[in-house]
């Protein structure tokens, strides 16, 4: 159960990221979670809610994109998604293949933050981005 | 005051801090010409017993070896390994179920790494959490004891997939517990195609010479050392 320490890292990282952009509230966190990351989604969700308490992420949503394992099949010379991580075999030609292309991700891809316009120090570019 | 939600791209690896530290450790190991092997397995698979044998055997060959050993609470493992009369340091993790690069770095602070040929890092007995943490090691050894059942690799594919060498341990008991060695090998091959598998027994010494030779082959200056 190392998900709590991972959740704490996520909260830290996102709070800092938000603060560096002048925001003290994170609304959502977008996370890529590879099937080979060694992290269990349910345990992470549970830990995340605990880790958020009393921080800029309190009440935030954790949006997880599960990333299946993609291997490179040397016989097909193509990338293939594995139906099961118990069998590292090309699903088409059945060649055993150890080469993992994707599926180890544990990555914060984006955060949604609450931004104050009252400060009046937004650049024109930032305002345009907010408007979009 | 007017507030607006705004989506910002982050793209940050959550374990980046660990990965950066691990990269630093790997660089340091390379510069000190020490080959670093970590051991992972479930609790009770025989990491400490096997390591005790390996440490003595390598020491008797005139090699300089040392070990770090991770455990939740006790220092029993370090005391056992110290019987091999090599430098041993315990990392007591408290409630943390795995070692990370920072713990390893802290434990190594007072050691002159260039004095060693091999450094072993025994992880906390756990087949799940250690898989996420790079320790900067050159080789990750995963142990599967014959008393555990052949399907462990299928139940914990991630840890087997991140390993570089698999050891089937306690093979002296294989017949008694009706362990199917071929099935175990085939399951390991399924989750980590191409990984070498050695059969060992710390009790009878079976397979230890083969393991020793495997490790010696990793030393940059191997011609200077006899094989087992």
- Give the chain B residue nearest A96 (alpha carbons): B193
Interatomic CA distance for residues B99 and B93, integer angstroms: 7
> For A18-70, how does the pLDDT look when each residue is reduced to its tens digit (9 = 90+)?
999 999 999 999 999 999 999 999 999 999 999 999 999 999 999 999 999 99
CA A85-A80-A92 angle, to 5 degrees, is: 95
For chain B, give the percent of residues with pLDDT over 70: 96
DSSP per-residue codes, B137-154: -SEEEEEEETTS-TTHHH
Cβ of A93 under 8 Å from any chain B Cβ? no
Half-sphere exposure of B36 (CA within 13 A, CB side): 26
Least trusted range by pLDDT, from A124-128, B9-13, B200-204: A124-128
* C-alpha torsion A73→A79→A80→A86, nearest 10: 60
Statement: residue A122 has pLDDT above 60: no
- Give the chain A residue nearest B132 (alpha carbons): A38
Query: What ipTM, to 2 d.p.?
Result: 0.82
Three-state SS at B53: helix
> For B137-160, how does the pLDDT look when each residue is reduced to its tens digit (9 = 90+)?
999 999 999 999 999 999 999 999
Interatomic CA distance for residues B127 and B161, integer angstroms: 11
Give the global pTM: 0.89
Per CB-CB distance under 8 Å, the chain A contacts of B9 are 109-110
- Chain mean position to CA B62: 22
Cβ of A60 under 8 Å from any chain B Cβ? no
At residue B78, the pLDDT reads 86
For chain B, give the percent of residues with pLDDT over 90: 84
Three-state SS at A40: coil
Q: Which of B3, B11, B128 has its CB closest to that of A109? A: B11
- Give the chain B residue nearest A118 (alpha carbons): B1
């Amino acid at each position: 159960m190392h998900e709590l320490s991972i959740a704490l890292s996520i909260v830290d990282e996102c709070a800092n990221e938000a603060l560096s952009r002048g925001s003290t509230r994170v609304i959502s966190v977008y996370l890529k979670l590879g099937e080979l990351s060694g992290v269990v989604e349910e345990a992470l969700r549970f830990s995340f809610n605990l880790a958020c308490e009393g921080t800029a992420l309190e009440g935030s949503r954790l949006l997880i994109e599960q990333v299946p394992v993609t291997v490179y099949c040397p016989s097909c010379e193509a990338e293939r998604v594995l139906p099961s991580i118990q069998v590292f075999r090309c699903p088409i030609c059945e060649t055993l293949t150890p080469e993992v292309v994707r599926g180890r991700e544990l990555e914060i891809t984006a955060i949604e933050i609450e931004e104050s316009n009252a400060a009046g120090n937004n650049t024109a570019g930032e305002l345009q981005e907010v408007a979009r | 005051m007017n507030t607006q939600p705004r989506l910002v791209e982050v793209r940050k690896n959550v374990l980046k801090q660990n990965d950066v530290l691990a990269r630093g450790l790997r660089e340091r190991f390379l510069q000190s010409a020490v080959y670093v092997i970590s051991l992972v397995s479930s609790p009770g698979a025989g990491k400490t017993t096997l390591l005790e044998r390996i440490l003595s055997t390598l020491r008797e060959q005139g090699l300089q070896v040392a070990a770090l050993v991770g455990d939740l609470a006790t220092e029993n493992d370090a005391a056992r390994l110290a019987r091999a009369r090599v430098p041993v340091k315990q990392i007591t993790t408290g409630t943390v179920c795995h070692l990370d690069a920072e713990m390893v770095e802290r434990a190594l602070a007072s050691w002159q790494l260039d004095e060693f040929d091999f450094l072993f890092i025994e992880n906390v007995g756990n087949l799940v959490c250690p898989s996420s943490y790079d320790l900067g090691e050159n080789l990750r050894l995963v142990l599967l004891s014959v008393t555990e059942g052949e399907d462990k690799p299928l139940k914990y594919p991630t840890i087997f997939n991140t390993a570089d060498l698999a050891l089937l341990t306690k093979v002296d008991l294989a017949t008694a517990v009706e362990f199917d060695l071929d099935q175990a090998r085939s399951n390991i091959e399924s989750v980590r195609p191409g990984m070498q598998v050695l059969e060992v027994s710390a009790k009878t010494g079976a397979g230890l010479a083969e393991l020793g030779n495997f490790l010696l082959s990793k030393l940059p200056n191997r011609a200077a050392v006899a094989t087992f």
